[in-house]
Structure 1
Amino acid sequence: MTALLTSREPFVKAGLPYLLLSCLLSLSAAIAGSRSGSARAQAPATVGRAHRAGRSKEGRSDIARFGERVQATLESMGNDKAYWGLIINDADTGEVLYSLNASRYFMPASNAKLFTTAMALATLGPDFHIRTTVESAAEPDSSGHLEGDLVLVGRGDANLSSRVVPFAEHAERNGPPEKALADLADQVAASGVKEISGDIVADDGYFAPERYPPGWGIDDAVWSYGAAVSALAINDNFISVILHPGATIGAPLIYSAAPWPGIYEMHNDTLTTAAGTEPKLRLARDPDSRTFHLTGTLPLDAAARELQLAVTQPAENAAAILMQLLEARGVRVEGRSRARHGDRSALPQADSPTHVLAEHTSPALLEDVRLTNKLSMNLHAELLLRVAARERAGATTIDEVLAFATGFWQSVGIAPDDVQLSDGSGLSRGDLVTPQSVVQLLTYALRQPWGADFAATLPVAGQDGTLETRMRGTAAAGQVHAKTGLVEHVNSLSGYATSRRGAHLIFSIFGNNTGTHGRDALNAVDSICVAMVEELAPHKQTRAPPSAINRRAASNQAQGRISR
């Protein structure tokens, strides 16, 4: 496959101003209210009929003004072929304030991560940790000789990298991308192993070998956002390639790659062009090929470019890197590096007796949820989905995993036909949800003991994550805490907001079939959020002082704890 070098996408400070005690006491009615208040039959609306299709609370001038602004915003796009859905609930009363096509299907893009991360927190708990181990059937003898294979066992940890955790405002790295694996190699060497008679084996059999969920595109597999899913994920299963112009015009580009396991090839047919010319880079790789073919040009005065190339054989990649690291530490390996995959038709087996020579423990699950939502990490969402289903139901195949997830969503009151997801990240073009189901999920999450922490994992408008540069300098900055979603012809945003008049809101906005008007659609979503914050008022009988959750969160912030 050939792909142009394009980019795809991939909250809150501790005090959550919209979390009120009255909200927590009344949200039990909101799940039912969201559905009954917005499930009335609605004909698909074109832009010109947006306000007529929208349902709003009668007799309130603030909602009438908001509806007029929604209509004006959608009409200003000049695109009558796009399809829009929107629902806003009062979090304190559960009332549906405004509804447009809220019971219709929309592709959610990364808003699907809301369903995945909430389910992971509910089923595994915020403090759940994942172990990655290096094991052997025997112990090394007194001379350091280890008979048999050395096995790296993965169980779905998405943070086997050098990423700094917890996330704080911006993604940071500390050390080489294979740092977590290097730490395991250090432990093996420290255990006294000097020679291994067998192979270095990477075992990702914790899940069935189904690397790509249904509905992912063939071009997705080239780049890091579409990296293969495996119980072993080193550096998010991508290779970082840094490109620099050559020394002279006509010279090939200079590149470095890390981590480079030695099982891939890079064919570099690039050229350096005159300063000021347009860069034109292309990357080609056939499905499952281990050969990357880089072509195109980069001007002499260009800054370095990074390409994040997806790994298609994650376990093989991990085994090769671990073998390199061990040999660099003086450990002699007589065998080769290889992978061991699970059987998609086999039942999960109990662990056989082994000797653990090294172990890595993941950050708390809440911190991975924060990364997943703040930065919209597709692979992290896929692994959270699979780990939850594996741990709680013994599920290994994608069909079993999705059945577990569907059962969970139904158990919290979401109608079976309101959510049709075939992956955990939203990258699948087969995913469909209704706006009302998203609001129901967000309502459920807010009622849980981990609800405030979940809300704090969402990007903050104008401040961090995938909303860092959006809605800056508007009334919505700092007041909208929501998950973004973006794939071709899809733009979505769902989460929590506090209006400047004190209303506590739960909302979901979808734009589908936006065609070539992607930037216009994003601006429309942001304009609707600004209108929501500027116009909507609280129910006059639901005003309440900050809840105990707010006071606790504010105390955490004062003590300098990371809670973004």
Structure 2
Amino acid sequence: MRTKFSTALPVLAMGLLLAGMKVSPVAAQTPAPASNNAAPAYPTGTETSLGERIAAILADPAVARAHWGIAVTTLEGVPLYGRDEAQFFRPASNAKLFTTAAAMQLLGPETTVPTEVIGDTLTTDGTVPGDIWLRSDGDANLSGVAFPYVPVAGESGPPADPLKAIDDLASQVAAHGVRRVSGNVVADDTQWTWEPYPDSWAIDDMLWDYGAPVSSLSVNDSTIALTVHPGMHVGDAVTVTQSPDVGFYTLDVQATTSAAKTQTRIHIDRAVGSRTVLITGEIAMGGKDVEQLAVSDPPLFAAQALRSRLLAHGVEVEGVARAAERASTVLDSFSRQAHEPVPDLPGPGMPLHTVSEVCNDGCGMVLARRVSPPLAQDVLYTLKESQNLHAEQLLHRLGRVYGREASGAQGARVVRQFLLNAGLDGNDFIFYDGSGLSDHDLVTPRATAMLLAYAARQSWFSLWKESLPIGGVDGTLASRFKEPPLKGHIFAKTGTLGESRGLSGYLDCASGRQVIFSVFVDNHMPGVSADRSAMDKIVAAIAASE
């Protein structure tokens, strides 16, 4: 997960206050009952050779003032080394380990979800009287990404059509014989509750792709790419294109062209609630700047995308694109919901719960239908790319299947019960979202190690482990651990959020055995990477010692 700061913060912050959004403080979290299992004792300090080497690494003045937490265990969960392993750290994207593990066990690696286009009826002349509806139960991959997903380093050829999935649906509608829609194209998001931003997300994240709002209808990961091209001469206006361009954002372009080889400084701003994007600054002649923006209203964007592709396939649409959304009906606070037990959560090997299809009997005529890739494929994409939105959608799906509604709070409730059932101490973790973008999320290294040990005993483990970035090979670890003996021998989830960083996973050691490790650092010096270098040295020390 990357963190990017925008000059839009003052404007966005005012807009958020006006919108009446609120953030629940961590202090409101209800203390949780501890697990019946006592936490195992970890060897600490410098009495072991590994502890001595780690102490030397962390004595470096560049990292000595940061807060470090480390847990190392066998694959079975037997502690080998610990340093502040029982203290809280911000997990950042290591939170995705918890969300995806719960999804693999409770939803199942092979489960899929449907997306449908529905109309009331179809006349003999090919007219759908009234509206047509786009509905989904949370297919996160309504995009141009090819599945099964294969991470490719470097250039991967020309970009795919970002609206390919929507185009496929529009093509089916036309093939069904539809020639005209007399009403609107409505994206129906009422399968889930409308809460686009998880509790305690930072306001300055909402502008960018990694802070895309959550919806059951997410087209192209609810992202639009803005590409800025310079003019022919110094002082010329720049050219800005959107992809995909379905008319969602209006661009106010005030940026200009600067001399070749000068610094490019492009600034993007958008007020909360506005669909006008302001582009200022300057770009050097011969340069190019690409910015990935979040779509502020995913259901409306989905409706616009479908309407545009219906027109492209020769289907006349007389109405406009609209969105239908539904507020939560659960009145309890996030904290109270998240701590409510889920008594019937199935354990390993037990039958899984399901939900009804998107279109039940009597809801209309299905004009097009798409089935998502299996959940295990989405988990692979989510972990390799550290995709925040997909993790949040998995959280909502868990809430829909096992909770009271498809919401972040109910998803957090299900994940919490899953972790308690797995033997984790309820006082060792606090999650406000599924991706780790919330800086109110807290977890201990020992809880993370315990989750990894639990996962190693499950039937879905091999698929889940393969989804983790591999050191020096792919995903968010492609540029780290690029040399032997670690290249290809570390399978771990990265995490970065402000001055916090994490790395947790599985490690092949020089001894031939595989161990579990979890390393977190909080409050490191801003704007430097010394903490990441120290973290990598710690992993190397673990591999050499064990």
TM-score range, shorter chain: 0.7 to 0.9
Q: Is the 8 A contact 1:34 1:439 kept in 2?
A: no
The amino acid across from 2:110 in the alignment is D
Name the counterpart of 1:340. 324
Deviation at 1:169, TM superposition (A): 2.9
Equivalents in 1 of 2:36, 2:50: separation in Å?
24
Deviation at 1:305, TM superposition (A): 2.1
Name the counterpart of 1:182. 167
Which of 101, 112, 126 matches 1:144?
126
Name the counterpart of 2:232. 247
Which of 283, 286, 310 matches 2:271?
286
Q: Secondary structure at the match of 2:186?
A: strand
Equivalents in 1 of 2:457, 2:36: separation in Å?
14
Deviation at 1:142, TM superposition (A): 1.2
Q: Is the 8 A contact 1:221 1:227 kept in 2?
A: yes
The amino acid across from 1:294 in the alignment is I
Farther-moved stretch of structure 1 (369-378 vs 403-412): 403-412
Name the counterpart of 2:193. 208
Equivalents in 2 of 1:55, 1:496: separation in Å?
22
Q: Secondary structure at the match of 1:152?
A: strand
Q: Secondary structure at the match of 2:40?
A: helix
The amino acid across from 1:3 in the alignment is S
Deviation at 1:398, TM superposition (A): 2.5
Equivalents in 2 of 1:220, 1:2: separation in Å?
7
Superposed CA offset, 1:12-45 (max 9, x none) = xxxxxxxxxxxxxxxxxxx99993124xxxxxxx
The amino acid across from 1:325 in the alignment is R
Deviation at 1:503, TM superposition (A): 2.4
Q: Tell me, which stretches of 5 or more residues in structure 2 are unaligned?
A: 9-34, 332-354
Name the counterpart of 1:503. 513
Equivalents in 2 of 1:77, 1:106: separation in Å?
21
Name the counterpart of 1:528. 538
Specify whether residues 234 and 77 from structure 1 end up closer, same or farther in structure 2 by C-alpha distance, changes over 3 A only: farther
Superposed CA offset, 1:509-548 (max 9, x none) = 0000113254111111111111111221xxxxxxxxxxxx
Q: Secondary structure at the match of 1:89?
A: strand
Equivalents in 2 of 1:521, 1:203: separation in Å?
45
Name the counterpart of 2:116. 133
Equivalents in 2 of 1:146, 1:346: separation in Å?
36
Q: Is the 8 A contact 2:186 2:322 kept in 1?
A: yes
Name the counterpart of 1:481. 491
Q: Is 1:447 paired with 2:457?
A: yes
Map residues 13-28 of structure 1 onto 2, 5 A cutoff: none
Name the counterpart of 1:316. 300
Deviation at 1:343, TM superposition (A): 3.1
Q: Is 1:111 paired with 2:108?
A: no
The amino acid across from 2:103 in the alignment is A
Which of 217, 220, 238 matches 2:202?
217
The amino acid across from 1:190 in the alignment is A
Q: Is 1:259 paired with 2:244?
A: yes
Equivalents in 2 of 1:170, 1:34: separation in Å?
43
The amino acid across from 1:148 in the alignment is G
Equivalents in 2 of 1:34, 1:488: separation in Å?
33
Deviation at 1:110, TM superposition (A): 0.1
Superposed CA offset, 1:281-307 (max 9, x none) = 1111111210100111111132x2211
Superposed CA offset, 1:45-78 (max 9, x none) = xxxxxxxx9357x6xxxxx332222112112243
Superposed CA offset, 1:449-470 (max 9, x none) = 1111111110011111000000
Name the counterpart of 1:54. 44
Equivalents in 1 of 2:220, 2:467: separation in Å?
21
Which of 23, 34, 41 matches 1:37?
41
Equivalents in 1 of 2:49, 2:528: separation in Å?
26
Equivalents in 1 of 2:382, 2:160: separation in Å?
21
Name the counterpart of 1:430. 440
Name the counterpart of 1:168. 150
The amino acid across from 1:54 in the alignment is T
Deviation at 1:346, TM superposition (A): 7.4
The amino acid across from 2:407 in the alignment is T
Specify whether residues 88 and 2 from structure 1 end up closer, same or farther in structure 2 by C-alpha distance, changes over 3 A only: closer
Name the counterpart of 1:545. none
Q: Is the 8 A contact 2:6 2:268 kept in 1?
A: yes
Deviation at 1:475, TM superposition (A): 2.3
Identity percentage of aligned residues: 37
Provide the TM-score with structure 1 as the length reference: 0.83
Equivalents in 2 of 1:79, 1:406: separation in Å?
33
Specify whether residues 185 and 34 from structure 1 end up closer, same or farther in structure 2 by C-alpha distance, changes over 3 A only: farther
Q: Tell me, which stretches of 5 or more residues in structure 1 are unaligned?
A: 6-30, 39-52, 59-63, 537-564
Which of 98, 103, 107 matches 1:124?
107
Equivalents in 2 of 1:517, 1:294: separation in Å?
25
Deviation at 1:95, TM superposition (A): 2.2
Which of 504, 510, 520 matches 1:494?
504
Q: Is the 8 A contact 1:109 1:425 kept in 2?
A: yes
Q: Is the 8 A contact 1:216 1:429 kept in 2?
A: yes
Farther-moved stretch of structure 1 (369-378 vs 77-86): 77-86
Name the counterpart of 2:522. 512
Map residues 348-387 of structure 1 onto 2, 5 A cutoff: 351=360, 352-387=362-397
Specify whether residues 261 and 401 from structure 1 end up closer, same or farther in structure 2 by C-alpha distance, changes over 3 A only: same
Which of 135, 139, 144 matches 1:157?
139
Equivalents in 2 of 1:34, 1:476: separation in Å?
33
CA-based RMSD: 2.2
Equivalents in 2 of 1:497, 1:256: separation in Å?
44
The amino acid across from 1:269 in the alignment is Q
The amino acid across from 2:44 in the alignment is G
Equivalents in 1 of 2:450, 2:45: separation in Å?
18
Q: Is the 8 A contact 1:34 1:96 kept in 2?
A: no
Deviation at 1:410, TM superposition (A): 0.9
Equivalents in 1 of 2:5, 2:497: separation in Å?
19
Name the counterpart of 1:76. 60
Which of 444, 448, 457 matches 2:467?
457
Superposed CA offset, 1:371-407 (max 9, x none) = 1111100000000111122123342233222212211
Equivalents in 1 of 2:82, 2:513: separation in Å?
17
Q: Is the 8 A contact 1:268 1:295 kept in 2?
A: yes
Q: Is the 8 A contact 2:396 2:410 kept in 1?
A: no
Equivalents in 2 of 1:2, 1:117: separation in Å?
27
Q: How many residues align?
A: 488
Name the counterpart of 1:66. 50
Q: Secondary structure at the match of 1:202?
A: strand
Deviation at 1:446, TM superposition (A): 0.9
Higher helix share: 1
Provide the TM-score with structure 2 as the length reference: 0.86
Which of 3, 8, 31 matches 2:6?
3
